[in-house]
Amino acid sequence: MKVKKIVLYILLFIFAIMALLPLVWTVSTSLKTRYATLKYPPEFLPDEVSFSNYKTIFEKYPFGRFLFNSLLVTLSTVFLQVAVAAMAAYAFARFDFKYKELLFMFYIATLMFPFQVKAIPLYLMVRNLGWINTYQGLILPKVFSAFGVFLLRQSIRSTPRDYDESAALDGANHIIIFLKIILPLNKGALATLSIFAFMDAWNDYLWPLIVTTTQEMMTLPLGLASLQGRWTTQWNLVSAGTIISILPMLVVFIIAQKWFVKGISVTGLKG
């Protein structure tokens, strides 16, 4: 039995190293000079460590603007998506109305359609509203999340109705019950959805590519793509930009890790 455990741990360690290797290589490349990235055979660890690449991408490119755009779009999308999904999930979990289950089925059926299918209709709507190359054009089409509604509905359904009934007897209305009882008792699911929404909005490349027309409205994924030249690419700068783009997601996940695990476990209890 001990031998099996040792073998298992060794395999897991090897897989972990393989998973981390691309990240380590990216960090290493971000610390190399331009000429060091062209060496053959390539160096895993640079002879000369340089942090100038991180300074260069902010001086030669509007990387600060890319970072600001991504932060604004991502945080706004996460807040609005979680708020809308929480209210819709509360309605589906607690209210009884005609054709509720049928409507929820159609709601969830939208998950079967990839974003690429919805991109053209969304673009036409945004263009008709005059939102091309604007923040509202980047944010509002991503606010609705059928997955978020499903996730939070499962969590709210696992919350005992006794809390709602007790609050109602004390004179609380649905708004108070929703804000003071439902949301605090479902922090795990809210954190889980927030992480998913943050990752989706932060890494989104296709929709900003479609809806933006100027460099000043570009988000980080588009900004990183613009660092690649037509004939040559300075991979040390691209790697430095990639590391900067990874850091916010890493910080968010570390902060919300406890709630993320709790939310996954709770929302899987009840269908």
Question: What token pair was written down for 201?
Answer: 């909005």
Residues 24-41 have a mean pLDDT of: 82
Are 37 and 29 a contacting pair, CB within 8 Å? yes
The model's pLDDT over 98-140, given as tens digits with 9 standing for 90+, comes to 888 888 888 888 888 888 888 999 999 999 999 999 999 999 9
The model's pLDDT over 170-218, given as tens digits with 9 standing for 90+, comes to 888 889 999 999 999 888 889 889 989 999 999 999 999 999 999 999 9
- 33 or 17, which is more confident: 17
Assign 271 a pLDDT band (cuts: 50, 70, 90): very low
For the chain, state the CA radius of gyration: 23
Q: Does the structure show a pLDDT above 50 at 269?
A: no
Q: List, in sequence order, the alpha helices (H) in the chain.
A: 2-30, 52-60, 63-94, 100-109, 115-128, 135-139, 146-157, 161-169, 174-177, 183-185, 187-203, 206-211, 220-226, 235-267
Domains and CATH numbers, the chain: 62-267 (1.10.3720.10)
Percent of the chain with pLDDT over 90: 35
Percent of the chain with pLDDT over 70: 94
Assign 231 a pLDDT band (cuts: 50, 70, 90): low
The reported pLDDT for the residue numbered 30 is 87
pTM across the whole model = 0.84
